[in-house]
Amino acid sequence: MSSKKKSALKQSEGVSNPEITNQESISNFKSKRGKNLNSDTLVSELLNGNITHLSRAITLIESTNPEHTQQANAILKKCLPHANTSIRIGITGVPGVGKSTFIEAFGKLLTAQGKRVAVLAIDPSSSLTKGSILGDKTRMEDLVKDKNAYIRPSASGSSLGGVARKTRESIILCEAAGFDVIIIETVGVGQSETAVHSMVDFFLLLKLAGAGDELQGIKRGIIEMADAIVINKADGENKKAAKLAKVEFERALHLYPKKDSDWIPKVSLCSALKNDGIDAIWKLISDYITLTKSNNHFINKRNEQNKFWLIQTIENRLKSDFFNQPKTKAALEEQLQLIEKNKTTPFAAAEYVLSLNKSF
């Protein structure tokens, strides 16, 4: 009997085609999955530490779909009472400094102590294709297998300051899910990377010895905001250069005024690859937290960050509402064409578009 006749016979006997069955199963799964994504279910599972629902909640708040905004806001409102319980650490440094290797070694140290660690890794987005690699889970292959660790890569998109558009909201969700330490690994774009400082308790800057940037320590910028400078890859033949760089940075830090926290920024050496010096860095961070909680700087800083978050949220909402106005879109397209024909200037065009929306 031919295969076609066998298939026809099976179908006539009530046995469906396997390919059709698989397609229907996939369709039914997707349909059911979509129906289960309601705020109450997500929040309930998230508060129980369900990683899958945490990821779904973060995906919702990162979505630019207007239909998801209301649900995302409801989730955040319900999670907020369970937030503000972690230590938030920002880690930055130029590409190649070993951020992922350091975070993996650091994260493994913390999970070995029984702590739950969430890593919000921000990858740069291409200005041309708008895409991101999001390869942090691959680079942290040991930490990603740890049951007490959670790694969430996100694209920076058009956001400035080395963070993603919804990093602050993601912090709240991770805290609600019971994570003790939240690590934000930033893009690493240099001295313009400052937004992360407005959302963390401790700001750690990774450096390399012999990279020609020791003298950057005397310039105001990202180093001025650092609570600690860690010189990574201090091993092998590079150990001597790392020690010299440590002395240079320590001298440079003395040029800065005293911090409001009364904390004196420290310079430390480590080799993330060799897992050397990582425990000393956690001790340093713990000392900082103890000091700032005792003198109330910790809570005062959190309050100031929340105020900054409020203003930035309003600015983002106004910007979004403005550019989504139909008359704005039409006027903007018209003015862009006039600029191409050299019939107006960017400044005059801007004044015209803004004049159409006096409410903004």
The answer to the question of residue 6 being in a domain is no
* CA-based radius of gyration for the chain: 25
The answer to the question of residue 7 being in a domain is no
The answer to the question of residue 1 being in a domain is no
Q: 26 and 49: one domain? A: yes
Domain extent for 334: 306-355
The answer to the question of residue 118 being in a domain is yes
Residue 192 identity: S
Q: 117 and 42: one domain? A: no
Of 109, 124, 128, 251, nearest to 180 by C-alpha is 109
Q: What gap in Å lies between CA 216 and CA 223, rounded to an integer?
A: 8
Q: 190 and 105: one domain? A: yes
The CATH code of the domain that includes 49 is: 1.20.5
Q: 66 and 202: one domain? A: no
The CATH code of the domain that includes 254 is: 3.40.50.300
Residue 140 identity: M
The pLDDT of residue 45? 94
Query: For 151-217, what is the HEC assignment?
Result: EEEEECCCCCCCCCCCHHHHHHHHHHCCCCEEEEECCCCCCCCCHHHHCCCEEEEEEECCCCCHHHH
Which of 294, 326, 345 is the endpoint of a domain?
Answer: 294
Q: What gap in Å lies between CA 156 and CA 152, rounded to an integer?
A: 13
The answer to the question of residue 350 being in a domain is yes
Cβ atoms 150, 117 nearer than 8 A: yes
Q: 108 and 199: one domain? A: yes
The pLDDT of residue 198? 84
Angle at 148 between CA 306 and CA 87, to 5 degrees: 25
The pLDDT of residue 51? 93
Query: Structurally, how many domains does the chain consist of?
Result: 3
The answer to the question of residue 197 being in a domain is yes
Which of 79, 103, 121 is the endpoint of a domain?
Answer: 79
The pLDDT of residue 231? 95
Measured torsion, CA atoms of residues 114, 284, 142, 112, in degrees rounded to the nearest 10: -20
Q: 31 and 98: one domain? A: no
Q: 220 and 282: one domain? A: yes
Angle at 291 between CA 289 and CA 294, to 5 degrees: 105
The pLDDT of residue 56? 92
Q: What is the pLDDT along the chain (360 residues), one digit of tens a residue?
A: 544 444 444 443 443 343 333 444 434 434 444 444 688 889 999 999 999 999 999 988 888 777 788 888 899 999 999 999 999 999 988 888 899 999 999 999 999 999 999 999 876 533 333 333 344 556 688 899 999 999 998 765 444 433 446 888 999 999 999 999 999 988 665 444 567 888 899 999 999 887 655 444 445 567 888 999 999 999 999 999 999 999 988 988 888 888 999 999 999 999 999 999 999 999 999 999 999 999 999 999 999 998 988 888 888 788 888 988 899 999 999 999 999 999 999 999 999 999 887 665
The answer to the question of residue 31 being in a domain is yes
Q: Give the strand pairing for 202-208 and 228-232.
A: parallel
Q: 88 and 196: one domain? A: yes
Q: 115 and 225: one domain? A: yes
The answer to the question of residue 2 being in a domain is no
Q: 286 and 240: one domain? A: yes
Q: 273 and 318: one domain? A: no
The pLDDT of residue 66? 74
Cβ atoms 207, 93 nearer than 8 A: yes
The pLDDT of residue 127? 34
Q: 174 and 161: one domain? A: yes
The pLDDT of residue 10? 41
The pLDDT of residue 21? 39
Which of 49, 79, 109 is the endpoint of a domain?
Answer: 79
Q: Give the strand pairing for 228-232 and 266-269.
A: parallel
